[in-house]
Structure 1
Amino acid sequence: MKDVIYITGHKNPDTDSICAALAYSEFKNKTGTATAIPVRLGEINRETKFILEHFGVEPPQLIETVKLQVADLNIDNIAPIAPDISLKMAWNLMKRNNVKTLPVTDESGVLIGVVSVSSLTSSYMDVWDNCILSKSGTKLENILDTLSAKPIYVHGENPNFLGKIIVTAMGPNSVKGLIEEGDIAICGDREDTQEIIVASKASLMIVTGNHDIKESLIENAKKLGCSIITTPYDTFTAARLITQSIPVEYVMAKDNLISFSTEDFVEDIKDVMLETRYRSYPVVNTENMVVGSISRYHLISKNKKKVILLDHNELGQSVHGIEDAEILEIIDHHRIADVQTGNPIYFRNEPVGSTSTIVGSIFFENGIRPSKKAAGVLCAAIISDTLLFKSPTSTLVDKLVLKRLAGIADIDVEKFAKEMFKAGTSLKDRTAEDVFHQDFKIFNLSDMKIGVSQINTMDMESFLPIKDEMTSLMKSKVERENFNILIFVLTDIFNEGSEIMVEGPNKEIVEKTFDIKLGKDSVYLPGVLSRKKQIIPPLTTTIANHKSS
């Protein structure tokens, strides 16, 4: 398992979720041995995009799941072989690397076949016909390598051996009756037999025992197109080995190949392995290029992907597959919800306005100065989550940490905040779908499924063109996804209040919570700025009282 820690915020990430992950990854990489990688679980909103571009920071990598994949395992790093190498060479490679199968690739590295010990031995043990070199398109290079031979004369650049293999262990007269033009003849040092082989226009004469060849015979072979090689092996050994010179592509499996992708989930490949029971399987990347091989013993590993959760501790808001990952830490400023771990972990939850405030504090508590870029994105996240301290979630700690980070980032907080809010809060030319899911969270309160979307803006009028579209979207989402209550919160940053829209079969709970009457239109809630502090807690209380009554 690769030594990597994924640091992630919640789904539909807001600025705090993204910036905290970026900065905390820097901290972990400065203080730990494992590689910390910031990741995100959705598209970056306009505000966050402005921030990252302003400070010159690359966005975190987008991931869809933390379920264990083949890419996370320490698979065997076995180099694939070319389809034209000999059976003998393939066999030697298997023995040298102590493997039972080898992937075969074309010139581009794309998988085209698999050769195994069983395919080599079964092909070698089968009754071979004596035209096998012709049928398999065996090259002279393979024959030379297999027989440890040296060339005496080679006819043409790429000679073809289209005849049968014969061993001329009989008298000259008998040889004449057997050998035909194009044959491959294995012989000893009898010159009369050698002359008949050449005169019969054999395509290849293999002389065993490394015996010398007469110059006159070589000259005649040149005229008649007969290649000549010599091998140190005796006739029996040469005859036994020559069939090992055929290329592996002749015996490799190439139909219905079973291979796995680096993107495959480990839980999915287990059943395939049980059904097929091969010793090992090729692993290919997304371009179908071989990167190694995997066997059953690789799956014995109990390792899981290592994850640190920021700005949330609720399963419904976390990355897909989190139940199969190992959670190392949680850093958050929300209510404690339903994430469970198998082991004790570092859990830091503080009642401050931003997770980035906690991350900034961690830097300073450990005597580590964040980089100018990290300090900049942390500043932006604190400003965003506290609405520049207009939100009731703001604390003195947020202000102190922001002041210290702003000095490192060298920014004018007031000036930057105006630029950031202006860039990120305009709703012009945006769809209801885009606006609703910019910062949407799901909460499970008692047995009720509650969805709350919140967006901050400096231009409330820009929402009017998509208001009807938003109503239709919310009604459809309630029906499709079985929400009890679905709320859209449009927060006016400067006037310090929010307009809310509510759909769902239990929306009377919202009416009771905020002492309002919901009609077809939206309702303005003065002073309500925080989903975390002013919407979810009172809803939780109302639902609890509703259940007990």
Structure 2
Amino acid sequence: MNEVLYITGHKNPDTDSICAAIAYAEFKNKTGTLKAIPVRLGDINRETRFILDYFNVETPKLIETVKVQVSDLNIDTVAPVAPDISLKMAWNIMKKNNTKTLPVVDENDFLVGVATITNLFSSFMDIWDNNILSKSHTKLENILDTLSAKYVYIHDENINLSGKIVTAAMQPDSTEAIVEKGDIVICGDREDTQDAVIRCGASLIIITGNHTASEDIIEKAKTASCSIISTPYDSFTASRLITQSIPISYVMNKDNIVSFRTEDFVDDIRDVMLETRYRSYPVIDKLNKVIGTISRYHLISQNRKKVILVDHNERTQSVHGLEDAEVLEIIDHHRIADIQTGNPIYFRNEPVGSTSTIIASIFFENGIRPSKKIAGLLCAAIISDTLLFKSPTSTNVDKLMLKRLAEIADLDVENFAREMFKAGTSLNGRTVDEIFHQDFKVFTLNNLKIGISQISTMDLEGFADMKNDMISLMEKKSVENSFNLLVFMLTDILKGGSELLVVGKDKELVARAFNVKLNGHSIYVPGVLSRKKQVIPPITSAITSLK
């Protein structure tokens, strides 16, 4: 497996989740031994897009799972072979690369067959009929290579070998009795035998013992369109080796080929291997190109993907397949939830306004100065998560870090914040589904499944026409996904409050939590800006009070 460390925020990533992952990847690459790669679990929102473009930072790669896939394994990278190579060449390639399987591909590198050492041994043990070169459409170049032969006279390099194989170890009269038009004849240096073979219409003469042909024989061969080659081997060896010139396509497995794709999960291919029991299996990439082979050994030696989680520690918010990965660290500023690890890890959780505040602290605590771009990203994340310190989650540590980072990034905080919020909070041209899932998180509170979405805007009134559609979407989602409660927080940055849309069989929990009466599906709560600090705790208390 490639020694890679994935750093990821939560699903439906917000600015803090993305920026913290990118920044912590820079820190780990400066201090660690693994290659740290920031990744994301969903589409980035408009605010985050504005920030990445502003600081000219590449968007993290999207991943869907950290379950071990074939692409994570150190597969054998033996180059696939063409279907027309000889059995001898295939055997030499297998010996050179210490492999027992060769994927066979066409001119587009698409898989057409698999040649195994069993195929080769079977061909050596089989008693071929003497028309095997014709049946297998063996090329002259394969015969030359297999017999280490050289040209004496070639009538046609693309000669169609349609006859049988004959070893002319007899008197010329006897030879003429068995040689027919188009045959391939192995003979010695007797000119009378060579002459007889040409008269019979042979298509190819193979002269053994490194002998050649006389000028007279060559002239007769030209007239009869008979090609002549010379091999250093004796007649017995040449007769034994010539069948190894057969193309690999004649003996390879063509039907019901078992192959795997780079994106296949190891858990899935393990079952297939147990059922089929081949030594090796071809591996195909996303372009349908063969890139190597895989065997059971690779599954035994597999390692789990290494992951660091930032801005969350809740399983439902994390990447799919986390249970199969090795979590090395968690950096977060939310409540401690339910992610479990097999070994002790570095877990840093602080009651600050942004995970990026913690990441910045880690830089400075280790005497490392973040780059100008990374300092800018950390500034943006702190501004976003604290609503420029209007959120009750804000702390003096956030303010201190923002000041220090802004100096490195050479950033005018007030002007940047205005541009960022303006770019990120516009609702024009967006569907209710996009708005709802921009920053949506799922929680399990006392065995109740609760989902809370939040979006900040400078124009609360601009949402009015979407309200009924949003409620319909939430009701549908609540039923289809068995939520006890769904909440949509529309937070007004300017007024410093939030309108809460609520649906679900337990929606009265919100009324109890804030001690207000629901107006249909909606309430407005002034001063409530933080999902983490001002919504989750009172809902949790309301649930507890019912017991």
Unaligned 5+ residue runs, structure 1?
A: none
Residue 74 of structure 1 and its aligned partner are, at CA, apart by 0.8
- 2:75 paired residue number: 75
Measure the CA separation in 1 of the matches of 2:74 and 2:544: 49
- 1:275 paired residue number: 275
Q: Could you say what secondary structure the match of 2:209 adopts?
A: helix
1:317 equivalent in alignment to 2:321: no
Q: Could you say what secondary structure the match of 1:51 adopts?
A: helix
How do 1:391-470 and structure 2 match up within 5 A? 391-470=391-470
How do 1:148-159 and structure 2 match up within 5 A? 148-159=148-159
Matching residue's letter, 1:20: A
Matching residue's letter, 2:262: T
Residue 156 of structure 1 and its aligned partner are, at CA, apart by 2.0
Residue 106 of structure 1 and its aligned partner are, at CA, apart by 1.8
How do 1:94-173 and structure 2 match up within 5 A? 94-173=94-173
- 1:523 paired residue number: 523
Cα distance 1:302–1:130, how it changes in 2: closer, same or farther (>3 A)? Answer: closer
Residue 422 of structure 1 and its aligned partner are, at CA, apart by 0.5
Could you give the per-residue CA deviations for residues 307-342 of structure 1, whole angstroms, max 9, x where no partner exists?
000000000000000011000000000000000000
- 1:375 paired residue number: 375
Could you give the per-residue CA deviations for residues 382-431 of structure 1, whole angstroms, max 9, x where no partner exists?
00000000000000000000001111111110000000000100112211
- 1:387 paired residue number: 387
Matching residue's letter, 1:184: I
Residue 291 of structure 1 and its aligned partner are, at CA, apart by 1.1
Matching residue's letter, 2:285: N
Does the CA contact (< 8 Å) of 1:313 and 1:338 recur in 2? yes
Is 197-206 or 387-396 further displaced after alignment? 197-206
Measure the CA separation in 2 of the matches of 1:314 and 1:202: 79
Matching residue's letter, 1:480: E
- 2:331 paired residue number: 331
Could you give the per-residue CA deviations for residues 510-538 of structure 1, whole angstroms, max 9, x where no partner exists?
11110111132421100100000000011
Q: Could you say what secondary structure the match of 2:50 adopts?
A: helix
Measure the CA separation in 2 of the matches of 1:302 and 1:283: 16
- 1:36 paired residue number: 36
- 2:22 paired residue number: 22
Does the CA contact (< 8 Å) of 1:131 and 1:165 recur in 2? yes
Is 329-338 or 424-433 further displaced after alignment? 424-433
Residue 91 of structure 1 and its aligned partner are, at CA, apart by 0.9
Does the CA contact (< 8 Å) of 2:502 and 2:521 recur in 1? no
How do 1:243-392 and structure 2 match up within 5 A? 243-392=243-392
Residue 176 of structure 1 and its aligned partner are, at CA, apart by 1.1
Measure the CA separation in 1 of the matches of 2:261 and 2:225: 49
Measure the CA separation in 2 of the matches of 1:496 and 1:211: 99
- 1:177 paired residue number: 177
CA RMSD, aligned part only?
1.0
Matching residue's letter, 1:272: V
Measure the CA separation in 2 of the matches of 1:256 and 1:497: 63
- 2:225 paired residue number: 225
TM-score (norm 1): 0.98
Q: Could you say what secondary structure the match of 2:367 adopts?
A: coil
Measure the CA separation in 1 of the matches of 2:417 and 2:430: 22
Is 99-108 or 337-346 further displaced after alignment? 99-108
Does the CA contact (< 8 Å) of 1:16 and 1:354 recur in 2? yes
Q: Could you say what secondary structure the match of 1:450 adopts?
A: strand
Measure the CA separation in 1 of the matches of 2:539 and 2:357: 26
Is 335-344 or 138-147 further displaced after alignment? 138-147
Matching residue's letter, 1:440: F
- 1:198 paired residue number: 198
Could you give the per-residue CA deviations for residues 282-327 of structure 1, whole angstroms, max 9, x where no partner exists?
1110111111111001101251000000000000000000011000
Matching residue's letter, 2:455: I
Is 313-322 or 280-289 further displaced after alignment? 280-289
Does the CA contact (< 8 Å) of 2:211 and 2:230 recur in 1? yes
Measure the CA separation in 1 of the matches of 2:110 and 2:3: 28
Q: Could you say what secondary structure the match of 1:470 adopts?
A: helix
Q: Could you say what secondary structure the match of 2:192 adopts?
A: helix
Does the CA contact (< 8 Å) of 2:373 and 2:409 recur in 1? yes
Cα distance 1:521–1:342, how it changes in 2: closer, same or farther (>3 A)? Answer: closer
Q: Could you say what secondary structure the match of 1:103 adopts?
A: strand
Residue 443 of structure 1 and its aligned partner are, at CA, apart by 0.5
Could you give the per-residue CA deviations for residues 437-494 of structure 1, whole angstroms, max 9, x where no partner exists?
0000001011100110010000112111211100101111111111111101000101
Measure the CA separation in 2 of the matches of 1:149 and 1:236: 15
Is 518-527 or 481-490 further displaced after alignment? 518-527
Residue 158 of structure 1 and its aligned partner are, at CA, apart by 1.7
Measure the CA separation in 2 of the matches of 1:455 and 1:487: 11
Residue 32 of structure 1 and its aligned partner are, at CA, apart by 1.0
Measure the CA separation in 2 of the matches of 1:63 and 1:206: 60
How do 1:463-482 and structure 2 match up within 5 A? 463-482=463-482
- 1:6 paired residue number: 6
Measure the CA separation in 1 of the matches of 2:10 and 2:73: 26
Does the CA contact (< 8 Å) of 1:115 and 1:252 recur in 2? yes
Measure the CA separation in 2 of the matches of 1:260 and 1:229: 43
Is 328-337 or 279-288 further displaced after alignment? 279-288
Matching residue's letter, 1:366: N
Is 92-101 or 65-74 further displaced after alignment? 92-101
Matching residue's letter, 1:188: G
Does the CA contact (< 8 Å) of 1:426 and 1:462 recur in 2? no
Q: Could you say what secondary structure the match of 1:10 adopts?
A: coil
Measure the CA separation in 2 of the matches of 1:211 and 1:331: 79
Matching residue's letter, 2:487: I
Measure the CA separation in 1 of the matches of 2:169 and 2:439: 86
Measure the CA separation in 1 of the matches of 2:540 and 2:465: 33
Is 326-335 or 138-147 further displaced after alignment? 138-147
Measure the CA separation in 1 of the matches of 2:186 and 2:14: 78
| Percentage of matched positions with identical amino acids | 69
Does the CA contact (< 8 Å) of 2:140 and 2:157 recur in 1? no
- 1:215 paired residue number: 215
Measure the CA separation in 2 of the matches of 1:116 and 1:355: 54
Matching residue's letter, 1:49: R
Measure the CA separation in 1 of the matches of 2:296 and 2:508: 56
Does the CA contact (< 8 Å) of 2:73 and 2:302 recur in 1? no
Residue 266 of structure 1 and its aligned partner are, at CA, apart by 0.2
Matching residue's letter, 1:217: I
Could you give the per-residue CA deviations for residues 26-77 of structure 1, whole angstroms, max 9, x where no partner exists?
1111111111000000001010001111111111000000000011111112
- 2:544 paired residue number: 544
Measure the CA separation in 1 of the matches of 2:301 and 2:220: 66
Residue 502 of structure 1 and its aligned partner are, at CA, apart by 0.6
Does the CA contact (< 8 Å) of 1:146 and 1:241 recur in 2? yes
Does the CA contact (< 8 Å) of 1:142 and 1:246 recur in 2? yes
Measure the CA separation in 2 of the matches of 1:96 and 1:431: 60
Runs of 4+ in 1 over 6 A off after TM superposition: none
Unaligned 5+ residue runs, structure 2?
A: none
Does the CA contact (< 8 Å) of 1:428 and 1:463 recur in 2? no
Does the CA contact (< 8 Å) of 2:154 and 2:228 recur in 1? yes
